[in-house]
Amino acid sequence: MKEAKKTDERLREIHSQVAQEVLFRVERAFAAFFRRVKKGETPGYPRFKGKGHYKSLTFPQFGRGKGASFQDGKLKLSKIGPIKIKLHREIPGTVKTVIVKRDATGRWWAILAIEIELFQQERHIGPAVGVDAGLEKFAALSDGNIIENPRYLRKTEERLKCAQRELSRKEKGSRNREKTRRKLAKLHAKVYSQRMDFLHKQSQKLVSTCSMIAVEELNIKGMVKNHHLAKSISDASWSEFVAMLGYKAEEAGTKLVKVNASGTSQECSRCRAIVPKGLSERMHCCPHCGLTLDRDVNTARNILKRALAVGAA
């Protein structure tokens, strides 16, 4: 890198650790490539990213006299200078790394990696609940509550299609194309923000009221291979929801248990009898004990029972 700086003036304008971090990314990309080759997977050769595709800078050290720091209410970046920043909340720990990133709409973000001291949380007091994820409903809970599926992508789909068609008609490299590209990017960003806001609120609500949350183990990669359901599954973002439950439950002192949910939709949650039903049947009606309720709530109750059995074992 030192030799390259002698001949390339642009490299001298970049902080040394930022340039080193780029090399580390290339190293990680090729290490992952060779690991996939050895495993016999589809490797996917690392793609070169020109200046138009490279949208983030990493400052691995934070503090006065280092690559990045806070000074006079601004974020000071070495070789760049002080930048106004909007802090959404007080930083709870010690900042270790800063990533400055530009999104598709042209907005800039400072992503702060912080170090905090975690204390052993007392076990949360509250009921245990089973959660059954779905497409018609986002989730059904074992207590009978239903979380409706907001379907943000589906609601914005027509506007996205119109913007995409408009973009395809613009001349490449023109100002109008860039303007339309940003319009499309803003629509996608809005869908993403709506989805993340929904997931954060629902996951926080569960971990703040329940002592244990039981969820099913989902093979999302396998499920999205079904091209008829892939878009709806991605729109629901179940894996992101479970990930949020995981780290929020740990902080709140709530236990998260994942169970194999195979057969839970066909089993009666009261008498354990097998009641076969097709996907079009949305009610569980047990001919043995007479239990009648929403099939997804029945599934959630079975998921909870399996989780309690695992906890007891």
Q: Which residues are catalytic?
A: 132, 216, 296
Classify residue 275 by its DSSP letter. -
CB 140 within 8 A of CB 294: yes
Rounded distance, CA 243 to CA 245, Å?
5
Question: How many other β-carbons are positioned within 10 Å of the β-carbon of residue 130?
Answer: 30
Question: How many other β-carbons are positioned within 10 Å of the β-carbon of residue 238?
Answer: 21
CB 291 within 8 A of CB 284: yes
CA atoms within 13 A on the CB side of 14: 20
Q: Which of 124, 144, 148, 117 is nearest to 135 (CA)?
A: 148
* CB burial of residue 45 (10 Å; 0-12, 13-18, 19+): exposed
CB 133 within 8 A of CB 217: no
Q: How far apart are the first and last CA of the chain?
A: 56
Q: What is the DSSP string of 47-116?
A: PP--TTT--EEEE--BSTTSSEEEETTEEEETTTEEEE---SS---SEEEEEEEEE-TTS-EEEEEEEE-
Rounded distance, CA 58 to CA 78, Å?
11
| Sheet of strand 56-59, all strands in order from the earlier edge strand to the far edge | 56-59, 94-102, 108-115
